[in-house]
Amino acid sequence: MDMQVLDNRHFYLINCLRQIDAENPVDLSTLDKRVEFQKKIYLLKSLGLPLDYSFGSYIKGPYSSSLTQIGFEIYESPKKAIPKKLNSIAPIKKEDLKKIDVLKKLISAIPREKTHAYWLELISSLHFLLTQAYPPVNGIDAARSRLKIWKSNKFLDEDIEIALDLMKKFELIKK
């Protein structure tokens, strides 16, 4: 099998995710972990980080096939291929560190009775509907309705309200 050489694009992504989870920034070992990976990057991009991935709607919310490819290149690389001091190779601007901190705080604020994958899928799906859906969604009520069609009652009404409150609190959508 050909060994993928990691470059600055990979290192920047790892560095961003390391700010959220220093121990295991790119864990794609389960479906839930892959969902979390996609949604974290989607939300970081939504917060304004310079991440050049295109997302479309898919079964579990916003999805980027190019991000999946890069994620697996990182995940399948030996740990020694990833430098310890990523900040010198792929630095993150101070203002972008603040944006990463917003996502980190949002993740720590989500309720514990369901998985991070569940909440990140819900939040990113609502965000996608409110900001990128085609045809466009006009307002929160329309987003709720479209989510119920798209996700066939996967999410409880009270969870949708919690997700919307978190999105407002952490300024992913306007209040």
Per DSSP, what are the bridge partners of residue 62? 57
Residue 135 binned pLDDT confidence (cut-offs 50, 70, 90): confident
Residue 153 binned pLDDT confidence (cut-offs 50, 70, 90): confident
| Domain that includes residue 162, residue range | 8-169
CB 7 within 8 A of CB 73: no
SS3 62: strand
Distance between CA 94 and CA 92 in Å, rounded?
6
Return the residue matching tokens 């996609």: 38
Distance between CA 65 and CA 56 in Å, rounded?
9
**Looking at the domain assignment, is residue 102 inside a domain?**
yes
**Looking at the domain assignment, is residue 88 inside a domain?**
yes
Instruction: Kindly state the tokens that stand for 31.
Output: 């479906």
**Looking at the domain assignment, is residue 107 inside a domain?**
yes
Distance between CA 55 and CA 128 in Å, rounded?
9
- pLDDT score at 129: 97
Q: How many domains does the chain have?
A: 1
**Looking at the domain assignment, is residue 175 inside a domain?**
no
Per DSSP, what are the bridge partners of residue 56? 63
**Looking at the domain assignment, is residue 91 inside a domain?**
yes
**Looking at the domain assignment, is residue 62 inside a domain?**
yes
**Looking at the domain assignment, is residue 16 inside a domain?**
yes
Rounded mean pLDDT, 98-102: 98
User: How many C-beta neighbours within 10 Å does residue 108 have?
Assistant: 8
Rounded mean pLDDT, 64-80: 93
Burial of 2 (0-12, 13-18, 19+ CB in 10 A): exposed
**Looking at the domain assignment, is residue 119 inside a domain?**
yes
- pLDDT score at 3: 52
Rounded mean pLDDT, 11-37: 95
Omega cis (within 30) before 111: no
Distance between CA 113 and CA 16 in Å, rounded?
27
